[in-house]
Amino acid sequence: MIKPHGSDKLNPLFVDDAAKNKALVKEAKTLDSIVVSSATAANAVMMGAGYFNPLTAYMSKADALSVATDMKTTSGLFWPTPVLNLVKDSAAIKAGDRIALRDPNVDGNPVIAVMNVDAVETFSDDEIKLISEKIYAPAAGEDHPGVNAFIEQGNICLSGPIQVLNFSYFQTEFPDTFRTAVEIRNDIAERGWEKVVAFQTRNPMHLAHEELCHMAMKRLACDGLVIHMLLGKLKPGDIPAPVRDASIRKMVELYFPQNSAIVTGYGFDMLYAGPREAVLHAVFRQNMGATHFIIGRDHAGVGDHYGPFDAQTIFEKDVPAGALAIEIFNADHTAYSKKLDKVVMMCEAPDHKKEDFILLSGTKVREMLGNGEAPPKEFSRPEVAKILIDYYQGLSVNS
């Protein structure tokens, strides 16, 4: 099986020994504590689950700036985005303290991790701007949800190692879907899969997405597919995870050979960082055991902040040779061809004009679903459309 990033085996930070976990929970009650940001909690979940291997700590200011400018830590580890614990007010916290980190996303703010604070440092406004520009590359003068969420956390950086006590709300709210990198690796090994392609989604999968997965599996001669959906915070208007989960599971059940695809999810907040986030996605897909990863148009993008293929070209231009073991399957926009009577990558149909494809905007699809109207069968499977129609009509009833 493919090696994890940066080490020979996964080093998940979740304390899985029940006695040790219980002891830490008890100790946490005696420690000073802070309620962290949703992004910080999500970083803890990803480190706890092994997805952010080989990281063992929240990054220091120096590491964050090095990652932003050079895509590597000060020790030379290849890494595409800072993994931080940012706060607005450090109060009485100082280097050498041991503190409890409380979860902002669960009622009662239970402790999600215990942290040894190595340093308390402050980013200047210019440094926050530098990180924003390098990681998110916002278009000049345009609002960017990822930048807004990053700045909102604060500019005081608490760095140091953590011990993770739980997986926030992900394990309880998505018991059939949330899986750690360790669990997915074990599942892949048990199935005997050697060549595995991963597909990232934060949306329901329509026919074009389904066919893209089939294409990748066939062209790469893969043993299996892992559909890996984001279960964390999205931007307003995105379809919630339970609805996406139900629609994707129905698609796999009906239209994929038995035991050829795993439907799973991970606990992280969407960054909307385009190319940099695509590289981060590749890192943690390697950690979960995938040998290949599908990168399509506008991967992890938002608005018009990135070019349609920036998330592909970053692997060619900026990721050093040998930095990652996982291989990228580059995909163009896929759509149903009226001429060929099948879904194709648009770049592989040079004789086609726009009107030769069935193309629907997201706004149009939402409008149709909200009116109880299924998109054409060439766009969406009827069983998937039914689940989405029920969701949108529920919104109109409750509005």
Clarify whether 202 is annotated catalytic.
Answer: yes
Domain 18-167, CATH homologous superfamily name and number? Sulfate adenylyltransferase (3.10.400.10)
Which among 324, 345, 394 is positioned nearest to 214, based on CA atoms? 345
Chain centroid to CA 252: 20
Which residues, at least 6 apart from 177, have a Cβ–Cβ distance to it below 8 Å? Answer: 229, 231, 241, 245, 263, 264, 265
pLDDT number for residue 234 = 67
Clarify whether 203 is annotated catalytic.
Answer: yes
Q: Which segments of the chain belong to CATH 3.40.50.620?
A: 172-398
**DSSP β-ladder status, 33-35 and 98-102:** parallel
Residue 298 CB coordination number (10 Å): 18
Residue 230 CB coordination number (10 Å): 22
Which residues, at least 6 apart from 238, have a Cβ–Cβ distance to it below 8 Å? Answer: 202, 203
What is the rounded distance in angstroms from the CA atom of residue 306 to the CA atom of residue 127? Answer: 22
pLDDT number for residue 248 = 95
Q: Looking up tokens 């009577």, which residue turns up?
A: 341
Q: Which residues pair with 294 in a beta bridge?
A: 329
Q: Which residues pair with 120 in a beta bridge?
A: 158
Catalytic residue among 21, 98, 116, 202: 202
pLDDT number for residue 242 = 86
pLDDT number for residue 396 = 64
Q: Which segments of the chain belong to CATH 3.10.400.10?
A: 18-167
What is the rounded distance in angstroms from the CA atom of residue 281 to the CA atom of residue 56? Answer: 18
Sign for the CA dihedral angle at 106, 203, 270, 187 comes to: positive
**DSSP β-ladder status, 334-337 and 357-358:** antiparallel
8 Å CB contact between 9 and 78? no
Encoded tokens for 9: 């085996």
Which residues, at least 6 apart from 176, have a Cβ–Cβ distance to it below 8 Å? Answer: 245
pLDDT number for residue 397 = 62
Tell if the pTM clears 0.85, that is, is over it: yes
Stated length of the chain? 399
- Reduced 3-state DSSP string for the chain: CCCCCCCCCCCCCECCCHHHHHHHHHHHCCCCEEECCHHHHHHHHHHHCCCCCCCCEECCHHHHHHHHHHCECCCCCECCCCCCCEECCCCCCCCCCEEEEECCCCCCCCEEEEEECCEEEECCHHHHHHHHHHHHCCCCCCCCHHHHHHHHCCCEEEEEEEEECCCCCHHHHCCCCECCHHHHHHHHHHHCCCCEEEEEECCCCCHHHHHHHHHHHHHHCCCEEEEEEECCCCCCCCCCHHHHHHHHHHHHHHHCCCCCEEEEEECCCCCCCHHHHHHHHHHHHHHCCCCEEEECCCCCCCCCCCCCCHHHHHHHHCCCCCCCCCEEEECCCEEEECCCCEEEEHHHCCCCCHHHEECCCHHHHHHHHHCCCCCCCCCCCHHHHHHHHHHHHHHHHHC
**Average pLDDT per consecutive 10 residues, the chain (399 residues; last block may be shorter):** 96 97 98 96 98 98 98 98 96 94 97 98 96 90 89 97 97 93 97 97 91 97 96 76 91 95 94 95 98 93 88 96 97 93 93 92 85 92 94 74
Q: At what angle do helices 274-287 and 310-317 cross, to 10 degrees?
A: 70
The end-to-end CA distance of the chain, in Å, is 49
Encoded tokens for 348: 């592989």
Domain 172-398, CATH homologous superfamily name and number? HUPs (3.40.50.620)
Catalytic residue among 148, 203, 249, 366: 203
Let me know the angle formed at the C-alpha of 398 by 396 and 399, rounded to the nearest 5 degrees: 65
What is the rounded distance in angstroms from the CA atom of residue 251 to the CA atom of residue 228? Answer: 14
How far, CA to CA in Å, does 195 sit from each of 185, 216, 225, 287, 374? 12, 11, 9, 14, 36
Encoded tokens for 25: 């929970």
